[in-house]
Amino acid sequence: MNNPNELLILGCGSATPTSNRFPTSQILRMRDELFLIDCGEGAQIQMRRNDVRFGQIDHIFISHLHGDHFFGLVGFLSSLHLLDKRKALHVYGPKDLWEVLQLQFKVSGSRLKYPIEFHSLDPNREERILETRKVVVDTLLMDHSIDTWGFKFTEKKKPRNLIKEKLEEYSIPKYIRDQIKGGADRDRGDGTVIPNEELTTAPPDPKTYVFFSDTAYKADNAISISGADLIYHEATFADKDVARADKTKHSTTMNAATMAQKGGVKKLIIGHFSARYDDIDALVKEARTIFTQTFAANEGERFSF
């Protein structure tokens, strides 16, 4: 994964795996930090196939406790142990996930070589659950049959870019250049000020990726994703099966496309396809009648943003 902001699809299927679709799992690289989002069965096999370095993953996000979203987690945690991981691993998920993990390790007599720091998600409110030097992660509340969360990953704003020629022209000392990158003007001490805009250029706008896990259409989430660069939204069903989607609290292709349109996002990826559908292109085509920048979450595909 060479792009600093890139999404890798490991699995795009739903509850029943098929011969060509693994359950939900994704790897997000953002500003050179690696995040694992959901961990369905076979996730680590897909990581191997796509040259993901296990040891670079320090944060895992589990959206809910339906098996197709976390049954691969214990195996992956065990592999990290066998690979001699020592650094702490942060796992974010429903509170009962920690009980599941502890039971698995207890009955198998496993003692990991590395600590797990578990972060329980609040089912009643959206919250910021992670802030690193470069990225912040916030939760979104889904509308599913059990407590379920989505995740919004946002770059922190980058410092302004220094204009080398201007630094030399005005003999700007190195010790204040970080202040100038932060937006400060240059006070020359003789009553004159060099405005920051003359010494720097603006950085690119921060990028945002949003992961919508299993959910019925939830209109108010469009506000939270406004202007996002890339979103993944489950589209378990075609529009003709909307009654089944409503019954199971899942989304259709048209629900996902409407969310992208209402949110004013740049690109939509749909996935979590029901095993009943063989023609994924038809699902994408259906969504594109509402939102043209729709793409399928094909396994092994990478989306840069």
Known active-site residue 239 = no
- Residue 158 DSSP class: P
Strands of the chain, DSSP E = 5-11, 25-30, 33-39, 57-61, 89-93, 116-120, 128-131, 135-141, 149-155, 161-162, 186-187, 193-194, 200-201, 208-212, 230-234, 268-271, 294-296, 302-304
Closest CA to 303 of 13, 22, 27: 27
* Contact assessment for residue 89 and residue 58, using Cβ atoms and an 8 Å cutoff: yes
258 is written with which tokens? Answer: 């409407």
Integer-rounded Cα Rg, in Å, for the chain is 22
21 is written with which tokens? Answer: 């679709």
Which one of the listed residues 38, 51, 58, 68 is annotated catalytic? 68
Handedness of CA 96, 98, 103, 104 (dihedral sign): positive
Report the length, in residues, of the chain: 305
List active site positions. Answer: 68
